[in-house]
């Protein structure tokens, strides 16, 4: 390579440069990004965390809004409608064999005839569309309406005034609530069948344990209503002990006019056969006036007839509010405790850490047991709050202390101290924001942890939150466990699905927050 004297470079070595050959630094057009803006951008790139956040928002909105769209409350129950299946009116009205309040029923001939008798008397589709499949063994399979299938239940005793009010309601609306009764002497003999109001027909053997309907030559069910001659004065109650519907013309058989007996006077009122579906409607629209029109439960009912949709909505609302309050209180106490311990160190840190370790070594179950023993008459929610608060802040305090030890000797902290900044300013203006990422992540995971703990305790029956309009998801899951053996798995399905979505979504969401606030920890596990 030729060497040139830098002080005497030949002129032929110089060339004119064009504008394209001149390069210089370009001006940055971007704006500075704040810490939280950068964290949000990193979070938005994590698709799993975004999906988790969306699911959490949906669950929160369900907890907030759903209670306003149901007239039922957690305190409501109706044993007559225990284990009725989920019903969506849109599906039921459009004859869709899903979510229509029906279930598949496999039964023998006697069971089929009982459902057929109920359908013929009330005119309701107890057997959906009247369709069934009969096996070679003589068993029947069909879609059974769990709402209409309640039928009449047991004979009901009501007051004379209520009897008159129901009659007025029937005249006004044209909806039939009361049906003719069966005379006591014509009823089945055994106690369990004697007061079964669904048995309105003649039976093959009234003394049998399993009542089989008696059919005529055409294969039709023969009614066994109590009738008396119209010529008998209506005032001869001592003889007939019966009440009929005013204004009814009666029926004529073999030239004799008869009246149906719609009630029997007994001690305390009138014994009647009331179709429960219509009686339910009458009670809620005319007597209670509580906004409930007809029995329809979106998620079905429990073994005690509680509406699962209402219980889940109110239980989810309580869980979110409770967990958020506990997390907020634990966050405040834990941050203050950990900041003081980590910043000052020395003997202060030693004493505070030993206290935290002693308190944290006490099992939560023991704390709850002692609180229940000494606060038996107090709200169970308050007992649960105190138990979770007693040790819940220790984890946040430990993380905060660790962050303060990590950053308190950094150059910017020494510079702030040299410039005369107070300890409080250094702690919460300079150190705390730098450790916020780890602390926020831990707080985000406290909420599902609290919900899971509260659900577990109520599931085990250690804490009972069934008071007024309060309930718990754990209580529903416990009810669902019993329902599986009864063939009503939907009771456990909805609360379990809620809990699974909640826990999975919060884990994804928490991992996304960790990666967003602490990019250096991306992919690591806490």
Domain locations along the chain: 101-150, 151-295, 308-521
pLDDT tens digits for the chain (526 residues)? 556 566 677 777 777 666 666 565 666 666 777 767 877 888 888 899 999 999 999 999 999 999 999 999 998 999 999 999 999 988 888 888 899 999 999 999 999 999 999 999 999 999 999 999 999 888 999 999 999 999 999 999 999 899 989 988 998 998 999 999 999 889 999 988 999 999 999 999 999 999 999 988 888 899 999 887 765 554 443 334 666 665 566 677 777 778 888 888 888 889 999 999 999 999 999 999 998 989 999 999 999 999 999 999 999 999 999 999 998 999 999 999 999 999 898 899 999 999 999 988 888 888 888 888 887 667 788 888 888 888 888 988 998 999 888 888 888 888 988 888 898 888 888 888 877 777 777 777 788 888 988 898 888 888 888 776 788 898 899 888 888 777 888 999 999 999 999 999 988 888 888 778 766 655 554 4
The answer to whether 49 touches 43, Cβ cutoff 8 Å, is yes
Alpha carbons 497 and 480: distance in angstroms, whole number: 12
pTM: 0.84
482 CB contacts (<8 Å, ≥6 apart)?
303
Distance CA 242, CA 234 (A): 9
349 burial type by CB count under 10 A (0-12 exposed, 13-18 middle, 19+ buried)? middle
CA distance 425 to 368: 38
Residue by residue, DSSP assigns 232-274 as S-TT-HHHH-EE--TT---EEETTEEEEE--EEEETTEEEEEE
* Residue 244 to residue 396: CA distance in whole angstroms: 73
Ramachandran sector of residue 101 (left: φ over 0; alpha: ψ -120 to 50; beta: rest): left
Helix axes 47-65, 490-517, angle to 10 degrees: 130
Helix (H) or strand (E) holding 442: helix 436-460
**CATH top-level class of 308-521:** mainly alpha
């Amino acid at each position: 390579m030729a060497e040139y004297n830098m002080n005497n470079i030949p002129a032929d070595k110089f060339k004119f440069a064009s504008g394209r050959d001149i390069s210089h630094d370009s001006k940055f057009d971007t704006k500075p990004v704040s810490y939280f803006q950068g964290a949000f951008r990193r979070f938005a790139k994590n698709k799993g965390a975004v999906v988790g956040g969306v699911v959490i928002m949906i669950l929160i909105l369900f907890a907030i809004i759903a209670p306003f769209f149901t007239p039922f409350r957690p305190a409501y129950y109706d044993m007559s409608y225990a284990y009725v299946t989920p019903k969506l009116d849109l599906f039921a009205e459009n004859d869709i064999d899903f979510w229509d309040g029906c279930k598949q029923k496999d039964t023998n001939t006697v069971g089929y005839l009982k459902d057929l008798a109920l359908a013929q008397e009330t005119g309701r589709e107890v057997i959906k569309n009247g369709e069934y499949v009969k096996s070679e063994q003589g068993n029947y399979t069909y879609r059974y309406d769990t709402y209409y299938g309640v039928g009449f239940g047991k004979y009901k005793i009501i007051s004379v005034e209520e009897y008159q009010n129901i009659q007025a309601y029937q005249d006004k609306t044209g909806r039939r609530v009361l049906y003719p009764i069966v005379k006591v002497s014509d009823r089945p003999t055994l106690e369990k069948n004697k007061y079964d109001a669904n048995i309105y027909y003649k039976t093959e053997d009234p003394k049998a344990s399993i009542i089989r309907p008696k059919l005529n030559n055409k294969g039709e069910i023969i009614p066994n209503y109590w009738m008396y001659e119209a010529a008998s004065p209506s005032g001869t109650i001592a003889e007939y002990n019966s009440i009929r519907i005013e204004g009814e013309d009666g029926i004529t058989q073999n030239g004799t006019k008869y009246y149906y007996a719609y009630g029997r006077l007994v001690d305390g009122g009138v014994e009647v056969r009331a179709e429960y579906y219509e009686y339910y409607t009458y009670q809620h629209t005319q007597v209670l006036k509580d906004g409930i029109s007809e029995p329809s439960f979106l998620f079905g009912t429990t073994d005690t007839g509680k509406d699962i949709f209402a219980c889940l909505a109110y239980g989810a609302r309580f869980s979110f509010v409770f967990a958020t309050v506990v997390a907020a209180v634990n966050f405040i106490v834990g941050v203050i405790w950990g900041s003081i311990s980590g910043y000052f160190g020395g003997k202060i840190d030693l004493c505070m850490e030993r206290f935290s370790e002693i308190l944290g070594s006490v099992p939560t179950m023991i704390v709850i047991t002692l609180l229940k023993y000494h606060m038996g008459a107090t709200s169970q929610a308050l007992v649960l709050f105190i138990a979770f608060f007693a040790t819940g802040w220790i984890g946040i305090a430990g993380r905060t202390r660790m962050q303060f030890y990590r950053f308190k000797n950094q150059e910017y902290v020494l510079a702030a101290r040299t410039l005369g900044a107070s300890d409080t300013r250094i702690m919460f203006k300079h150190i705390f924001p730098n450790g916020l990422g780890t602390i926020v992540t831990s707080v985000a995971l406290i909420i599902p942890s609290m919900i899971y703990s509260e659900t577990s305790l109520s599931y085990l029956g250690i804490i009972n939150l069934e008071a007024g309009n309060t309930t718990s998801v754990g209580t529903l899951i416990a009810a669902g466990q019993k329902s599986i053996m009864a063939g009503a798995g939907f009771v456990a399905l909805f609360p379990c699905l809620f809990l699974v979505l909640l826990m999975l979504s919060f884990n994804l969401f928490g991992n996304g927050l960790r990666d967003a606030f602490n990019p250096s920890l991306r992919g690591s596990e806490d």
